[in-house]
Amino acid sequence: MRRISIAVVAAVTLGTALPAAPATAAGTAGASAGLARCAAGVCHFDVPPGTYDVRLELGGADASSTSVTGETRRSLLPETPVPAGERVVRAFTVNVRTPEGEPTGPDGTPGLDLRIGGSAPALAAIRVTPARPAREIFLVGDSTVCDQPGDPYSGWGQQLPQYFRKGVSVANYADSGESTVSYLGNPRLWATVRPLIRRGDPVLVQLAHNDKTTDEATYRANLETLVAGVRERGGQPVLVTPIVRRWFNADGTLNNGTALLVNGLGVDHPAVVRSVAAARDVPLIDLTAKTKELVESLGVEASKALYLTAEARDNTHTSVRGAALYARLVRDELVTRHLVPRGTVRVG
């Protein structure tokens, strides 16, 4: 990935529309100028695709609470309270790409768009600079993982960036409707992702929900192909079992094929993922087991809030709340398995 020597700086007060201002040059030969505009709670940085560090100063005269989302509804900074009269500095690293959301979706807006939210937002200053080499977490998955374009849907990969500080970015190449077969076969998917993987980058693979007609031998072979492709690039493959569907038995358990992703051919997807991980010595995040435990612990009624049961009678796709909880489970596993530096993890 080509590195651009560019720095974009803007000092803003929310609620005050600012005119477009030229970026300050980085002070090195060949520095390239961008444009920044922060108005009506949105900051736009005219930068090319790449990985960028964002440094924020939050706070003001009154008590405040600020969050940041970016690009296609990615959660980049959780709600951050600041006492009246104080300032705090927060930083994160963000992946900017085209298309900015799902790989087979629309291109979106060029550059980097950050949306300043929260219950009482106060942004004092913001600075965007090209990131020094950072750990990139690649996500290969389906609609339960992807950057969902429309509310109230959210994939867990869309919520994952908020759990990391500067130094780790999330490149979410999950795409709605994809199986292991279609992900490998579409040139906009695996053929695009694989060349971007650098040595040491974790590549999380969660594909199962749409392998409804994939036989076990093909499913296993496809997972092995993805693992081999990551390793050939020097990356670290991580196999992730699929999140459960919220499909309860009368006894309050999820012990059925619908909930636990057993397809119509009798292929037990989580079991095959576990088997491939063991056979190929690949780190495993057993998200099926972890989400099953969480959903069952909440019970029939409380677990509705994790999915879109009320909004769309959808017990497969998650709400923002559910996706955030599932992303936190993934973050914890990445830390436990030393796949990300502990100092880059935002707790909470």
Q: Is the pLDDT of residue 327 over 90?
A: yes
Question: Can you give the pLDDT at residue 314?
Answer: 98
Q: Cβ distance 209 to 316 under 8 Å?
A: yes
Question: Whole-angstrom Cα distance, residue 183 to residue 173?
Answer: 10
Question: Whole-angstrom Cα distance, residue 116 to residue 136?
Answer: 24
In three-state secondary structure terms, 182 is helix
- For 215, residues 6+ apart whose C-beta sits below 8 A from its C-beta are 265, 267
Confidence bin at 347 (pLDDT 50/70/90): confident
Q: Note the pLDDT tens digit of each residue in 11-30.
A: 333 333 322 333 332 222 22
Up-side HSE of residue 104: CA atoms within 13 Å toward CB?
Answer: 18
Q: Which of 149, 140, 112 is nearest to 36 (CA)?
A: 112
Amino acid (1-letter code) at residue 37? R
More confident residue, 7 or 204: 204
- For 105, residues 6+ apart whose C-beta sits below 8 A from its C-beta are 72, 99, 149, 175
Q: Note the pLDDT tens digit of each residue in 289-298.
A: 999 999 999 9
Q: Which of 323, 231, 218, 318 is nearest to 272 (CA)?
A: 218
- For 251, residues 6+ apart whose C-beta sits below 8 A from its C-beta are none
Tokens of 108: 């979106």
- For 163, residues 6+ apart whose C-beta sits below 8 A from its C-beta are 327, 328, 331, 345, 346
Write the DSSP string, 38-97.
EETTEEEE---SEEEEEEEEE--SS-EEEEEEETTTEEEEEEEEE-TT--EEEEEEEEE-
Tell the residue number behind the tokens 């292991």, with chain if given: 180
Residue 323 phi, psi (nearest 5): -60, -40
Query: pLDDT over 70 for what percent of the chain?
Result: 89
How far does CA 179 lie from the centroid of its chain? 19
Torsion region of 246: left, alpha or beta (phi above 0 gives left; psi -120 to 50 gives alpha):
beta
Q: Cβ distance 326 to 317 under 8 Å?
A: no
CA distances for 65 relative to 49, 99, 202, 256, 266, angstroms: 30, 31, 32, 43, 49
Average pLDDT score over residue span 309-336: 97
Question: Whole-angstrom Cα distance, residue 121 to residue 66?
Answer: 4
Q: Cβ distance 208 to 269 under 8 Å?
A: yes
Q: Note the pLDDT tens digit of each residue in 36-70.
A: 468 889 999 999 999 999 999 999 999 999 999 99
Question: Can you give the pLDDT at residue 18?
Answer: 27
Return mean pLDDT, the chain: 90
Which residues is 37 bridged to in the sheet? 44
Q: Is the pLDDT of residue 190 over 50?
A: yes
Residue 18 phi, psi (nearest 5): -110, 145
Question: Can you give the pLDDT at residue 37?
Answer: 65
Question: Whole-angstrom Cα distance, residue 64 to residue 123?
Answer: 9
> β-strands 236-240, 202-206: how paired?
parallel
How far does CA 199 lie from the centroid of its chain? 20
Confidence bin at 34 (pLDDT 50/70/90): very low
